[in-house]
Amino acid sequence: MFVLVNLKAYPCDPVEIAEAAADVSDETGVRIAVAPQAAHLSAVAETGVETWAQHVSPVEHGSHTGSTLAEAVADAGAEGTLINHSEARRKLADIDASLGAAERADLETVVCANNPDQVGAAAALGPDAVAVEPPELIGTGTPVSKADPDIVTDAVEAAAAVDESVDVFCGAGISTGDDLDAAADLGATGVLLASGVAKADDPRAALEDLVEPLA
């Protein structure tokens, strides 16, 4: 299982969380990555943790003020990027172009989707993985794997019907080891989470609890 911690724009210490994630990953052998704000990518990457961007723009080098260039993200130390998170939705053509930008920069990609139909459409664009995240459950502490497990199994089937090489992750409400176990049982090969770690009083303890079933 792959654990991707999205720090969003929460008022947390990205380096502290990155150091904790790196330690827990080293101690348990579980693959853990952290996705901070773009300005913090280099500092997070310097901790040794696998570092991801929250977004890359569908642009090349040129006159694109305010864009997040994939090559700049890679230069800062990122190894992958989220695309089309429910808080940063994009049109299908822009998702495709962002995937192209990520490929140019040799970044691994996870395209987020709200439901199994969107998962199928995203999988057809050829990302490394898709993540199903019903927006109504994001930040609630109620995981999709428990609130509506059919969404996860249907998403796994939808992706496989298009391209069996595309992994399926699940997100929204993930915060405990039980949530991780449930996601795996439903066929997911990774999870996305945010507030369960970024807003935790003790991020290291939260990560240790999360991956305990895999250790």
User: So what's the pLDDT on residue 173?
Assistant: 75
CB 77 within 8 A of CB 105: no
114 annotated ligand binder: no
86 annotated ligand binder: no
Bridge partners of residue 190, in order along the sequence: 2, 169
Token pair 């827990």 in the structure block, residue: 24
173 annotated ligand binder: yes
pLDDT per position as a tens digit, 76-97: 999 999 999 988 999 999 999 9
Dihedral angle, C-alpha 18, 20, 21, 23, nearest 10 °: 120
From the list 16, 85, 108, 164, the catalytic residue is 85
Is pLDDT of 42 > 70? yes
Distance (Å) of CA 60 to CA 32, 91, 109, 110, 155: 29, 18, 17, 20, 31
Quote the percentage of the chain above a pLDDT of 90: 79
User: So what's the pLDDT on residue 47?
Assistant: 98
Q: What share of the chain is helix, strand, coil (3-state, %, to 5)?
A: 45, 15, 40
From the list 16, 64, 133, 212, the catalytic residue is 133
Bridge partners of residue 90, in order along the sequence: none
134 confidence band (pLDDT: 50, 70, 90): confident
User: So what's the pLDDT on residue 140?
Assistant: 63
User: So what's the pLDDT on residue 137?
Assistant: 64
83 annotated ligand binder: no
Going along the chain from its start, the domains and CATH numbers come out as: 2-214 (3.20.20.70)
Q: How many residues does the chain have?
A: 215
Whole-model pTM?
0.94
Q: Once rounded to an integer, what is the mean pLDDT over residues 63-74?
A: 97
Q: Once rounded to an integer, what is the mean pLDDT over residues 118-132?
A: 96
Active site residue 85: yes
Active site residue 164: no
From start to end of the chain, where are the E strands? 2-6, 31-35, 50-53, 80-83, 108-113, 129-132, 167-170, 190-193
pLDDT per position as a tens digit, 138-197: 666 677 777 778 889 999 999 999 999 999 999 877 888 888 888 889 999 999 999 999
